Amino acid sequence: MWDYDIIKELKAKMDGDTIESKIATELHDVTEQYQDGILTAEEYKELLIDIEKINISNELANDEITSRWLTNTVKLLISVI
């Protein structure tokens, strides 16, 4: 069962021109692909982890708050697989 609060949070964060909105859009798009059956559970999990690792090491190296948000969001999304 999906936690619709996290889906709503992603949609709300998608508006704007920030790194957080870019990441929220990526996470939302990948989640929709999984929900639609385009991605397997394993592919979905791998993509979420890749999004997290790439953004934390590159885009978010100096942004601890957004890094924590991303890590917690990815953990929550993976927990519903």
E strand or H helix at 44: helix 41-57
Task: Select the more confidently predicted residue: 5 or 2.
Answer: 5
The contacts of residue 45 (CB under 8 Å, 6+ apart) are: 78, 81
Check residue 67 and give its pLDDT.
92
Question: pTM for this one?
Answer: 0.84
> Is the per-residue pLDDT at 34 higher than 90?
yes
> Is the per-residue pLDDT at 74 higher than 80?
yes
pLDDT band at 58 (very low <50, low <70, confident <90, very high): confident
